[in-house]
Amino acid sequence: MFRNLFSEEDGIRHYKILINGCWNCTVSGGKIDVYNPYTWKVFASVPACSADDVLSAITSAKNHSEFAKFKPTERLEIIEKTAQIMNENSEEIASVITMESGKPLSVSRGEVKATVERLRLAPQEVRALYGEYLPGEWIEDTANKFAIVLRKPLGVIATISSFNYPLYIAAAKIIPALLAGNTVVAKPASDTPLALIYFARILELAGLPAGALNIVTGSGKDVGDVLVSSEDVSAISFTGSTAVGEHIAKIAGIKKLHLELGGKAAAIVLKDADLKNAAAQIVRGSFRNSGQRCDAVSRVIAVKDIKEKLVEEILAEAEKYPSGDPLCDKTQVGPLINKKALINVEELVDDAASSGGRILWGGKSSGLVMEPTVIDNVNPSMRIAKEEIFGPVIPIMTVSDYEEAVALSNSSEYGLDSCIFTENINLALRIAKQLQDGSVTVNSAPAHGVGHFPFGGNKKSGLGREGLGYSIDELTKLHTVIITER
């Protein structure tokens, strides 16, 4: 089933990519090595696509616009068949994700499961395409008219996904794009390109026509810039850093932008909170997937009355997250994705420690594995209080009351997620309305999951919303037909 995706030499798999229904039809002969982040050994490679390869993929997607003429039920059948094939091969795909990303195998299995679930929810998602009827009699100048508002495909969609959930994030962009009748050119992160290649193969086996989905691999400079700046691309759906998102916005031109960028989720813990639950949620929200999540809890803001007790509970929870080999069943925290990521986390931790922060747990690294770390006495001037961490670190800050907590949370340039822990639901709602984040969770850590609840960022955390039905909104255009009654 997957054997045609690669050739093998000296134990290294050399993967192919898909352009216009052809595997390995690339102009460039260059390769990009894929490393296992835990062993830091090369175990695979993918083509280093050239600008010509990208343009060929875009042309392929543009030339297969007839996919929009497929009946919605036919597109749904392809997606449903994809879910079946993926479920049958879930263990192999999970192993690939762990090898390329370094995340514990249990987390990779969860990612495959979530992707299958998103595929199976396609019938719910496609409801967004139904359109609506608008009667005109409500307004004087349209009294003898009515309108039918339709949703139409945009054309060629460029999807660019991040390394931290290489299968799910890519799939959550591609699924709604195809359901809406668009064609796609998809670029995976250079560190984790393999999961998307497997996904493309499964879609092909499920009956997706040649050219409807094309894969390009390579750097942002060599591949990404050519892709997003093309006039033949109608929309860009990107998940990644704010810096790259801002770069895309500068060079994209006039086209739809769907950007899910960085986050700095605050966990606000009030004096009436269930501290055991708060600690369990905070630790899970900070340490899961080694903290490499845009919705990760990236700072704890605790009122002083309960801060010391909360710290005790957090340290007790931290013991439940051993780090190490991601293939070991006991491992909860695996390696970071690469050396650059590790250096960034280490610098943030060192800056906090040298500026008065107290490291209560962890703080050291081995290879690319950063120990789960808890830092107390963090103040707003420290880098770790302001910058996205993308590592398994819990910075703890202290405030006097909820008003100060809200002000501190809102001081961030990011606005993706936050959470509140309190037993007072009225107060929780009052605070939630004041927070400047796209999503606010009460008594649990943020978790985007399969997108049943819409999510997306404010401020420097992005543009648009993702989720079931909401992603399709971003990847379609409104078409209004006005009828005059005679």
Rounded to whole angstroms, how far apart are CA atoms 294 and 162? 10
Closest by CA position to 285, among listed 276, 273, 296: 296
Degrees to nearest 5, angle at CA 331 with 325 and 336: 60
Q: Give the length of the chain.
A: 486
Question: Do 47 and 217 meet the contact criterion of CB atoms below 8 Å apart?
Answer: yes
Contact 267, 298 (CB under 8 A): no
Distance between CA 332 and CA 321 in Å, rounded?
5
| Cα 433 from chain centroid (whole Å) | 25
In the set 125, 294, 419, 466, the catalytic residue is 294
* Burial class of residue 224 in the structure, from the number of CB atoms within 10 Å of its CB (0-12 exposed, 13-18 middle, 19+ buried): buried
Tell me, what amino acid is at 416? L
Closest CA to 79 of 209, 206, 215, 237: 206
Cβ count near 150 (within 10 Å): 15
Write the single-letter amino acid at 193: P
Provide the pairing of β-strand 417-421 with 265-269.
parallel
Note every long-range contact of 64-72, with CB atoms under 8 Å and residues 24 or more positions apart, other chains counting.
Answer: 64/183, 64/209, 64/210, 64/211, 64/212, 65/155, 65/183, 67/178, 67/181, 67/182, 67/183, 67/209, 67/211, 67/212, 68/152, 68/153, 68/181, 68/182, 69/181, 70/181, 72/126, 72/129, 72/179
25 as an active site residue: the answer is no
Which residue, 315, 388, 393, 314, is CA-closest to 353? 393
Residue 277 in tokens? 């639950």
- Look up residue 283 and give its two tokens: 């630790």
CA pair distance 296, 288, nearest whole angstrom: 8
Please state, in angstroms and rounded to a whole number, the distance separating the CA atoms of residues 82 and 297. 33
Sign, Cα dihedral of 66, 83, 54, 244? positive
Please report how many Cα atoms fall inside a 13 Å half-sphere around the Cα of residue 247, on the Cβ side: 14
Catalytic entry in 111, 204, 260, 388: 260
290 phi-psi bin (left φ>0, alpha ψ -120 to 50, beta other): left
Q: Are 112 and 195 in contact (CB under 8 A)?
A: no
The two three-digit tokens of residue 15, written as one number: 């993967």
> Is 91 an active-site residue?
no
Active site residues: 260, 294
